[in-house]
Chains A and B, each alone.
Chain A
């Protein structure tokens, strides 16, 4: 073993696996919870120390552990890219594990909890292993454990129909992805004569291979949730317990980004269309993701669609980085990669926070349907406050962390649009209005989500009797919110976390090219100071005056009811209107009819455009194509025997021909 950081990380891996095992044999829910959560927390803290150490010392090691398997030795290693993703995994999983202590307790004794705890720790360990793997076989093994562990988490509440469906879709989707990755690594391994990553980088025989790039984009894109491969995501993420949704949305889908970046280190920067394609994927994922999110009225499903949007933003950064690297423009490459990577961390933080907030709402009210919530800020002050922090952060607004990573991507796009050749600069230019539109729509979506759930009057009795989350859940949410604010106010420190990985990807010193961070801190401080100043002014003005309480002005109507408040659907309607041609909007029912209407109902649903316009037609075509094969399936035994005979004779002839020819 060559490095302390790798050793520490491996110890944390052992803690995770060990605690998973112990939780599996625990006798009671209480014991399983104690062992599982303590293991996850300890593992995360240890691992965080390892990742931080690797970052500080710039560790770059590959080590080989003897392993008695026919596929060769176990190769693990750590470098700047791995260290950054390790940091993301441990931060998000650590907070989620802490939150999970309180959240799982909410299930009470109705069910056995150990499967969730075991699968959670296995999932975290598998993600760590994915990032540490330095060998194709080891990587795919870890990838598979990750998919299966998360499947068991998705199907934790398996007595519900939609949960089982979501789990099956998820399992199929992740295995289609794995199948493509098998093909990718088979190609890479055959060309290099080895599956070790070091050999793959060194051999360079498949450098610039577009087939490999497309396989990587599709295989890893299925995990990451690029449009239209995200079809499993909006079902699977909400189905899992909320702290697991936080991990799946926050870091697990980012393993797709990690895989893509890792494979790019084998393939090199490639032709210019690679970067352009990634940018276009980012634009499409970002805009369709946020539009679908706007139309949701299930809080967790809304958040899941926002993961598609944020993966799009990350792809915008990565694509810009690839374009910059292709043209040898160090500034564009550094800003693009650093922005994309920092958004990986930021999205993990605020999406974790938001899913935890949604979990507290679900915990407190028993529903995720926004149209039966409302007015929760009074009853859940901390959940509401931290949800607001997450909402502002995910909208990319200052002074929170989402702004910092989006700013880096904007800077990359601005300098790319000026400095790259014409066609590439047009692609970079596309990023600007796209990111602006995504930002505007995300703000609309989160004003809606926060406003409908936490503000106004309770729409039903469920939110009226809600209670705040327990101490473990509150601590996790408060910590997440503080970290979001810290990165927003001190971006210079946050960028140091990604500069090492960005340097590894661009091969140049990035420190000169990364941003005006002191000015951001200054401007954010000025705005915060202004807010404090104006608040103080208001307090001083109102001190000696009468401040009354009254009811909301209802424009003269005397008996408004809470059900008359604007709902999630009505809020989103005008925002979606200009895009309605591109979306699958379905409505049922209509306005009341006749002079004495008795009852009327109206429903509005948004189907997933990718599913209904792209994947289902593609699948139908595929089936139709395959149905031609039916002619050989007559069902008669004689015919099948003939097939066997023909095949054998064919093989024999081929063998004879081969031996004569050879």
Chain B
């Protein structure tokens, strides 16, 4: 458990910052394309506007459709309480928190997919099926990344992993972390439906993955979905920052953290500006490639010995 100040800082960052990240990505893409683009704070306005609206539900749907966005947002916030933001410790830290982190996101995904199937639309079924396929392939990679982080500390916990190594020799003492960061970046792109796995801006339902699953949601429900998705992206970005540059606790860590997360967002923007989306049939190869990178990191870790 952490004290009250750190807890409120964690909650504040977790609840306020995420939509900004998507703003930075969009801005990066706009600049790269030579456009001015929407304001960085656009997503906050979208969410506020949607929260003020009513809702329209399909006659086919049941309570599952209404529960989907709620569970997605709740699990994203819940996972946010387990992941470290500023400093190595999260408000809820225990042996096994890394597993709970991954599985809470899985619970959210389960309900998003179920809500999509609840509409009876074959487009949404298509999206759910693709999401299920890519998530199942990304999951082993995520766990290999977690293994690289946690095995030296012998405790599957974020706090233990970051308490284990001295800050200054982080990367040099532990090269598999580079593989972990690279693999996690790919998992982040896949889990958050970014290019090259999915295109968040596509306008053709046939090619969508995540967007098509939420076609029928509107009003506050859509606001929850957008907000939850931004939190998920924020959590992955902050994990990547933690892997590449350990963040000291307290006020000293805050600027490092903000700068780091913004950098990850810019990197996603650059990737999205410079690569095209992969054909659907190629996505599994991309994801398996990432798992090979993570497995390589693990092999180095095991056979070179832990630091």
Contact = CB atoms under 8 A, between A and B. Distances in A.
Are A and B part of the same complex?
yes
Interface of A: 374-375, 377-378, 388, 392, 395-398, 403, 406-407, 410-411, 414-415, 417-419, 422, 425-426, 429, 432-437, 439-441, 443-444, 446-448, 450-452, 455-457, 515-516, 519-520, 522-523, 526-527, 530-531, 533-535, 537-538, 541-542, 545-555, 560, 562, 564-566, 570-575, 577-578
A580 B301 CA distance: 32
B54 A407 contact: no
A542 B152 CA distance: 50
Nearest to A403: B103
B133 A555 contact: no
B121 interface: yes
Interface of B: 51, 53-62, 64, 66-67, 70-71, 73-75, 77-78, 81-82, 92, 94-97, 99-100, 102-104, 106-107, 109-110, 113-114, 117-126, 128-130, 132-133, 135-144, 146-147, 150-156, 205, 215-216, 219-221, 224, 280-281, 284, 288, 291, 295, 298, 302-303, 306
Given A555-B121, A555-B215, 9 more contacts: A392-B110, A411-B156, A418-B153, A456-B60, A546-B54, A565-B125, A566-B124, A566-B128, A578-B284
A273 B133 CA distance: 34
Contacts of B219: 541-542, 545
A239 B118 CA distance: 30
Given A414-B156, A519-B94, A566-B125, A545 B120 contact: no
Contact of B107 (A374, A398, A553, A562): A398
A537 to B, nearest CB: 8
Contact of B110 (A435, A443, A522): A443
The 3 closest A-B pairs by CB, nearest first: A566-B125, A451-B117, A440-B136
A153 to B, nearest CB: 33
A456 B64 CA distance: 11
B130 A574 contact: yes
A505 to B, nearest CB: 22
A429 B299 CA distance: 10
B147 A530 contact: no
Contact of B154 (A419, A443, A548, A572): A419
Contact of A531 (B74, B109, B128): B74
19 contacts: A396-B103, A398-B103, A418-B154, A443-B135, A456-B117, A516-B94, A523-B81, A541-B219, A542-B54, A545-B54, A550-B57, A552-B120, A552-B121, A555-B123, A566-B124, A566-B129, A572-B129, A578-B133, A578-B137
A523 B106 contact: no
A406 B143 CA distance: 13
B54 A432 contact: no
Nearest to A456: B120
A541 B281 CA distance: 42
Given A396-B103, A531-B70, A545-B55, A455 B62 contact: yes
Contacts of A553: 58, 119, 121, 215-216
Contact of B82 (A434, A523, A548): A523
A522 B92 contact: yes
A492 to B, nearest CB: 13
A138 to B, nearest CB: 41
A411 B136 contact: no
Nearest to A537: B220
A547 B306 contact: no
Contact of A418 (B114, B143, B306): B306
A375 B61 CA distance: 9
Contacts of B142: 436
B145 to A, nearest CB: 10
B284 to A, nearest CB: 4
Contact of B51 (A436, A443, A541): A541
Given A433-B140, A523-B100, A577-B284, A417 B120 contact: no
Contacts of B61: 552
A356 B28 CA distance: 53
Contacts of B147: 414, 417, 429, 432
A411 B154 CA distance: 10
Contacts of A550: 56-59
Contact of B78 (A439, A526, A560, A570): A526
Nearest to B93: A519
Nearest to A522: B92
Nearest to B295: A433
A395 B106 contact: yes
A604 to B, nearest CB: 15
Given A415-B154, A422-B303, A447-B132, A515 B95 contact: yes
Q: Which of A439, A552, A565 has its CB near the most chain B CB atoms (within 10 A)?
A: A552
Contacts of A555: 121, 123, 205, 215
B10 to A, nearest CB: 13
Nearest to B100: A523
Contacts of B154: 414-415, 418-419
Majority secondary structure, A binding face: helix
A570 B129 contact: yes
A417 B140 contact: no
A572 B130 CA distance: 9
B285 to A, nearest CB: 8
Contacts of B74: 527, 530-531, 533-534
A392 B109 CA distance: 11
Contacts of A406: 99
Nearest to A547: B55
A418 B106 contact: no
Given A422-B302, A426-B302, A519-B97, A451 B55 contact: no
Contacts of A435: 143
A375 B96 contact: no
B126 A566 contact: yes
B144 A433 contact: yes
A152 B142 CA distance: 46
Contact of A447 (B67, B110, B124): B110
Interface centre among A392, A429, A570, by most B CB within 10 Å?
A429
B103 to A, nearest CB: 6
Given A436-B143, A530-B74, A577 B119 contact: no
A555 B103 CA distance: 33
Nearest to A437: B140
Nearest to B280: A574
A527 B78 contact: yes
A469 B290 CA distance: 47
A11 B64 CA distance: 46
A242 B55 CA distance: 41
B174 to A, nearest CB: 14
B78 to A, nearest CB: 4
B129 A573 contact: yes
B71 A531 contact: yes
Contact of B103 (A397, A432, A456, A538): A397
Contacts of B110: 392, 395, 397, 443, 446-447
Given A531-B71, A571-B128, A440 B122 contact: no
Among B107, B120, B152, B156, which residue has the most Cβ atoms of chain A within 10 A? B120
A530 B216 contact: no
Contacts of B94: 516, 519-520
A73 B36 CA distance: 90
A619 B212 CA distance: 49
Given A395-B106, A443-B109, A550-B59, A455 B100 contact: no
B114 A433 contact: no
A434 B144 CA distance: 10
A551 B215 CA distance: 12
A554 B143 contact: no
Contacts of B113: 447, 451
Nearest to B142: A436
A450 B115 CA distance: 11
A397 B106 contact: yes
Contact of B139 (A410, A437, A452): A437
A371 to B, nearest CB: 13
A204 B48 CA distance: 72
A451 B128 contact: yes
